[in-house]
């Protein structure tokens, strides 16, 4: 059977790591989405204050099965 | 478009740093170094991450891209926009002299100037490989590491006392100890920050190694910036 997937992008943040930031995004998405399959890291950056890294940000691309509602 | 409207221009540079711990630690190393000479560093994006294995131990490497303002508009104490002139000072032994700190504090007083000091230290003597094996012995390595550490500490100490001589204005001056040829050190700083003028503070002709190497005119040619040479005697 043919399938269709939705693809969305999310940005998660963490004070500890990019892994934490990615996990935050996936955790939030899994609250409202079913059948999450693959999360792909597409961008990472960080915020700096007084020469110190204060926040890690990870942008992920999530795909999940499209449900037509039939 | 917004750049055209505001007249703001940013310089974009990439930095590579490593850490045996994590990519996050490598990123912090990169940010710490960059923040020494770049004001108002607020964010960095990751361009590339990779991993190398040295004797089976992972080494995390990260390439960051940062953007920073090149324009010279600052706000003075009264809230008025002023244009500052940025000076790059190259000094080592003469950092302790009163002439240099007087010059800097007179410029700092009206908030029309910013200073970054580089303290170039000579790389400890060249390693000689064992003629039999062609390898460099571990004892030679640790000796060089120790003398490098000593040279770094000496440089940091000079920098700290220079800032101390400036009193309250001392923390407005940034600085760093660098190893190797001073001209290379200057070029490396110019690649991640921008300046209007270079000041070479050195000992008198005959004593000064930098003047013997013709550092001021080499810098002028290589960096396309005005270079002022301040010749001072060693502090008595």
Regarding an ipTM greater than 0.90, the answer is: no
- Gap between the terminal Cα atoms of chain A: 15
Which regions of chain B does DSSP assign to beta strands (E)? 10-19, 43-54, 57-69, 73-75, 81-83, 85-91, 113-121, 173-179, 197-202, 227-231
Helix, strand and coil in chain B, % to nearest 5:
40, 30, 30
Domain with CATH 3.30.1660.10 in chain B: 2-69
Give the CATH fold of the B2-69 domain: Dodecin subunit-like (3.30.1660)
Instruction: Name the CATH superfamily for B73-231.
Output: HUPs (3.40.50.620)
Tell me the domain boundaries of chain A. Answer: 5-65
| pLDDT tens, chain B, 236 aa long | 344 445 556 778 899 999 999 999 999 999 998 888 777 788 899 999 999 987 888 999 999 998 877 777 777 778 888 788 889 999 998 898 888 888 888 888 767 788 999 999 987 665 556 566 666 666 666 777 788 888 899 999 999 999 988 888 887 788 999 988 899 999 888 877 888 899 999 999 888 999 999 999 999 988 888 999 988 876 54
Assess B33–A contact: CB distance below 8 Å, yes or no: no
Assess B67–A contact: CB distance below 8 Å, yes or no: no
Question: CATH 3.40.30.10: does it fit domain A5-65?
Answer: no
Q: Which residue of A17, A18, A53 is in closest CB contact with B31?
A: A53
Tell me the chain A residues in contact with residue B49 when contact means C-beta distances shorter than 8 Å: 44
Interchain pair B46, A56: CB under 8 A: no
pTM value surpassing 0.80: no
């Amino acid at each position: 059977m043919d399938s269709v997937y939705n693809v969305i992008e999310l940005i998660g943040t963490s004070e500890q790591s990019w892994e934490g930031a990615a996990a935050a995004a996936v955790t939030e998405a899994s609250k409202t989405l079913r059948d999450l399959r693959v999360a792909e890291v597409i961008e990472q950056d960080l915020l700096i204050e007084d020469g110190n890294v204060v926040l890690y940000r990870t942008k992920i691309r999530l795909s999940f099965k499209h449900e037509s509602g039939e | 478009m917004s750049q055209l409207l505001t007249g703001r221009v940013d310089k974009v540079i990439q930095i590579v740093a490593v850490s045996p711990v994590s990519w996050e630690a490598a990123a912090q190393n990169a940010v710490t170094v960059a923040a020494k000479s770049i004001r108002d560093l607020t964010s960095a994006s990751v361009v590339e991450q990779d991993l190398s294995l040295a004797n089976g131990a992972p080494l995390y490497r990260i390439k960051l891209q940062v953007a920073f303002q090149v324009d010279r508009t600052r706000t003075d104490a009264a809230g008025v926009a002023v244009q500052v002139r940025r000076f790059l000072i190259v000094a080592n032994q003469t950092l302790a002299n009163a002439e240099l700190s007087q010059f800097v504090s007179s410029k700092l007083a009206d908030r029309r100037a910013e200073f970054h000091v580089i303290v170039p230290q000579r790389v400890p003597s060249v390693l000689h490989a064992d003629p039999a094996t062609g390898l460099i012995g571990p004892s030679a390595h640790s000796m060089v590491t120790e003398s490098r550490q000593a040279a770094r500490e000496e440089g940091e100490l000079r920098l700290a006392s220079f800032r101390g001589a400036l009193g309250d204005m001392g923390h407005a001056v940034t600085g760093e100890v660098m190893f190797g040829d001073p001209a290379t050190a200057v070029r490396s700083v110019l690649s991640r920050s921008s300046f209007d003028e270079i000041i070479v503070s050195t000992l008198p002709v005959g004593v000064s190694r930098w003047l013997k190497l013709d550092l001021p005119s080499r810098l002028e040619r290589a960096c396309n910036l005005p270079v002022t040479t301040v010749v001072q005697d060693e502090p008595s």
